[in-house]
């Protein structure tokens, strides 16, 4: 199959990661908002993890595409 699945996964996680971490930064000072999640800024943390994972997937996809081209 010619479509590398790492691309859609990487893109989606990068986009979700950006949305959640930015939203987490904006809402970070509202203590009442995060009372539900025991005071943890779950949006920021989950967002950062998703962003890292997404970028890593895109990096892998790019590396594979280059390797395929040079072959």
Partner 1 sequence: MPNLLTLGGIDYVIIFIYFLFVIGIGWALKRYMSSSKAFLEAGRSLPAWVTGLAFISANLGALEVIGMSASGAQYGMATTHFYWIGAIPAMIFLGLFMMPFYYGSKARSVPEYLKLRFDEKTRGLNAIAFAVMTILASGISMYALAALMEKLLHWPFDASVLVSAGIVLAYTLLGGLSSAIYNEVLQFFIIVIGLFPLVFLSLKDAGGWTGMTETLNQVSTSNGFQTGAWTTMWSHTGTAAANPMGVEWFGIFMGLGFVLGFGYWCTNFLVVQRAMAANSMTAARKTPLIGAVPKILLPFLVIVPGMAAMALASKGTLSLEMMPNGSPNYNSVITSMLGHYYPSGILGLGLCALLASFMSGMAGNVSAFNTVWTYDLYQSYIKPNQSDKHYLNVGRLATIVGIILSIGAAYLAKQFGNIMDFLQMIFAMVNAPLFAIMFLGMFWKRTTGHGAFWGLLLGISCALIHHGLTIPMGADPSEIIKGGWISVIHTYPSSMAQNFWGAIIGWTSGTVCTLIITYLTKQQKSNEDLKGLVYSLTPRIIEKDDKWYNRPIVLACFVAALTLVLSIIFW
CA distance 68 to 24: 39
If one asks whether residue 58 binds partner 1 (CB under 8 A), the answer comes out as no
Buried residues in 28-42 as b, exposed as e (16+ CB within 10 A): eeeeeebeeeeeebe
Q: Which of 25, 27, 28, 63 binds partner 1 (CB under 8 A)?
A: 27
Contacting residues for 12 by C-beta, under 8 A, at least 6 apart = 54
Q: Which of 46, 48, 55, 56 binds partner 1 (CB under 8 A)?
A: 46
Residues near partner 1 (CB under 8 A) are 1-3, 5, 8-9, 11-13, 15-16, 19-20, 23-24, 27, 33-34, 36-38, 40, 42-43, 45-46, 49-50, 53
């Amino acid at each position: 199959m010619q479509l590398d699945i790492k691309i859609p996964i990487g893109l989606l996680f990068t986009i979700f990661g950006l949305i959640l971490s930015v939203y987490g930064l904006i809402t970070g000072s509202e203590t009442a908002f995060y009372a539900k999640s025991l005071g943890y800024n779950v949006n920021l943390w989950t967002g950062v993890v998703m962003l890292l994972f997404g970028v890593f997937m895109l990096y892998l996809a790019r590396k594979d595409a280059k390797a395929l081209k040079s072959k």
